[in-house]
Structure formats: C-alpha cells, structure tokens
Structure 1
C-alpha cells in the first residue's frame, strides 16, 4: 500500500485505508524498526484503530498480531498483565519477519479503561479477572474482531499467520472470512504479580499458556 493513499476518499461503503505514514520505532532491545502506520475509513465501530506494516507485508499468509489496547500494560508497564511484553515481542518478531500489527481500541477486553480499573479493585478483594468483570455487569470478554477483519481486507490481506495464545481470535477471524493458515503462540510472560491473571485466562478462555506449578497453590 503506497503513501499516495493519504486522505484517500473511499470509493464504496467498504472500509478502506485513510492514511499511510512512515513510523520509526524503538524496539525494547535497543534496535530501531521502520513501520508504515495506517488509519482507516468506515470501520464498523467507528473507533480509531490502526495497523502497522513491517516489511512489504506480502506473502501467502503474512504474520499478523491482533493486539488489544492496554494503557496500563502497553504504556505504563503494568506487571498485573502480560500485555506490554506481548506487544514488545510482537513488534520485534514483525520487524524480523515482516507482517502486520493491528492495534485495536479495546481496553480491558472491551469494557473500557475505567471499568478495567474498577475490576482491578475487585481483583484485590479476591475476584479473578473474569469474576471481576461479571461482578461489574460485563461479560468475560466483550471484544469483537469485526474491525480486525475489515482492516485486513482493506490492506489486501485475506490469509494470515496469527500470532496469539487466544483461540477466540482465530475462531472469530475465521468466522469473519479471514483464513488462518497457522496460529503461532507468543511467549509466556509470567511473574509474581500476574500469575493468577494468566491462570484465569487458561481456565476460563483456554489460552494456550504453559505456566509454572506453584507449590501450595
């Protein structure tokens, strides 16, 4: 996709690329990467999601990471989740292999930032991350990946190698017409602050994570 698409007017009602711009990135290991960042016209939920392309983005099934926004983890370095390390790993792997990062504005598995912080408080009182959501009147995971499929189609991508531990991402993308040739796991980033959170992801939503056995746990 060429930068000549800047501020392009969509020719139909289908979502399309709005802007493409170059974005140099400092990776966590000190290297510098160069990505192209895209915005879009006409996404289903009207939010400002973006995609980053590394390399030429070509190939039969380019590597794709669908990453949900996590301000506390991605920006502030929260140790309560594994979002920040997963994002940094994804940027590194995409820099090395080429492909796309879809950054979706779906804070707190879709419940929003303030509700996520309310859930943090309930977790401190003994709820796991899913029970906390339910206590606030939310679902376990309210994310919908329709916009991810729309973004991929707007970028000319219909078949992907998906970088994820979450089987729901694969299932939703396939139901939306995106062929997933392969799912590759991310690393397992566990520590004393997030081990219970990761255990809940395995138990409730079958994330493919191999976690350490904690004695007495």
Structure 2
C-alpha cells in the first residue's frame, strides 16, 4: 500500500516536504534476504530506499546504516573513497546481526554537489587540493547533505531508537535533531587504499570523522 507521511520533525515542518512510500519487494542478497522499500517525495523524486532485514519490531534499537549515494564508489568500485567498501561492510554487519536497516539516500553524490561537479573536484584533487578545498575552489559547500528523509523513513518503519553505523558525528547529531534517538555510534572502518589515504585523513582532520585506526 502506498502511504503518505507528514513527519513531525522540525526541519520537515519548516521545509514542508512530504515523504511517500511508493513500493516494496523482497530482495535476496548474499548478506541475507531483505525487504526493499522505495520512497519518493513531492519535490525531489529521487527514489530513496530502505533495505530491512528481519523483524525490526523485535529489537529495541536496530542496527542502522544511512548511506549516501556514491555512483563511483558503490557501483564502479572507485578506490578514491571508502563508500563502496562501507556499503558492503555495513550490509555484512547487518546480515551477521540478522536484524537491521540500510537506508540509501539519493542526491548525496559528492557530499551533495552532484556527479558532474564531483568529477571536476577529482581533477582538482589530482592537482593537489583535498576534498574540502576542491569543493570550495568551485564555490560549492563542503557538505550540503541532510538527513531528514532518513529520519522520515525510520519513522515510517516504526523505528525511533537506533544504533547508527557511522564514523561521522554530524550524521548522528542531525538524526538526533530530527527526533531519532541514536543510542550508540557503531564504527564502520574499512581497509584504506593507497588512493584514498589522503581522503580519509581529510575526513578525520577537517570533517571531524572518528577513526580508531
């Protein structure tokens, strides 16, 4: 059944966005059998998705990954970032737990600047700029992503308390601002590559990401 939602979260009310569950289907994977839920909204018809494993009503705070779209990392396997490896690692961790939610947010490519401008940023990085300065050099924000659609999806799924798979404290605080109780942050670290070492260092030193190693 298609469901229309008006989320009771502060940013949602201010921006007057509406989230709509569009469809669902069973998705068997090597990590387990998920149910995929497709969501749309009235302004950006991007097709955000939630993959749900197991009965999330049976646990107090399910393991949740909120993953930003990254075509180059997720689909092609680019070594410039850790997005693809984080995607696979988070699905594996949810699969091992037997219950959890993986949310895939469209419109987050390049921390929100889009694919074309991200490729331009790659050229600037090859000239010596880091990921932050490559965005600023183009007159773009360092990170324009937001997470209110993720909060709305969690609300639709009946989840208000989660354990969040992330190294990014900003993601945790923004979900909390939207009314989600993040009871713990679960680290999501993957093996670095020669190509993404500087990228990871910039995440740590300039964007505040937390890495244990």
TM-score, reference length from structure 2: 0.88
Give the drift of 1:44: 6.5
How many pairs were matched up?
199
Match of 2:210 in 1: 208
Structure with a larger share of its residues in helix? 2
Q: Which runs of 5+ in 2 are unaligned?
A: 8-18
TM-score, reference length from structure 1: 0.87
Give the drift of 1:101: 0.4
Distance 2:91 2:85 in 1: 10
Local SS of the residue matching 1:91: helix
Match of 1:67 in 2: 67
Local SS of the residue matching 2:56: coil
**Aligned pair partner of 1:18 in 22, 43, 48:** 22
Match of 2:12 in 1: none
* Alpha-carbon RMSD: 1.6
Give the drift of 1:189: 2.5
Native 8 Å contact 1:111 1:138 kept in 2: yes
Match of 2:146 in 1: 144
Q: Which runs of 5+ in 1 are unaligned?
A: 28-32, 212-217
Instruction: Please identify runs of 4+ aligned residues in structure 1 that moved more than 6 A.
Output: none
Match of 2:113 in 1: 111
Per-residue CA deviation, residues 43-69 of structure 1 (Å, 9 max, x unaligned), is 674421100001112311110000001
Give the drift of 1:81: 0.6
Per-residue CA deviation, residues 102-134 of structure 1 (Å, 9 max, x unaligned), is 000111111111111000000000000010011
Distance 1:198 1:204 in 2: 10
Match of 2:11 in 1: none
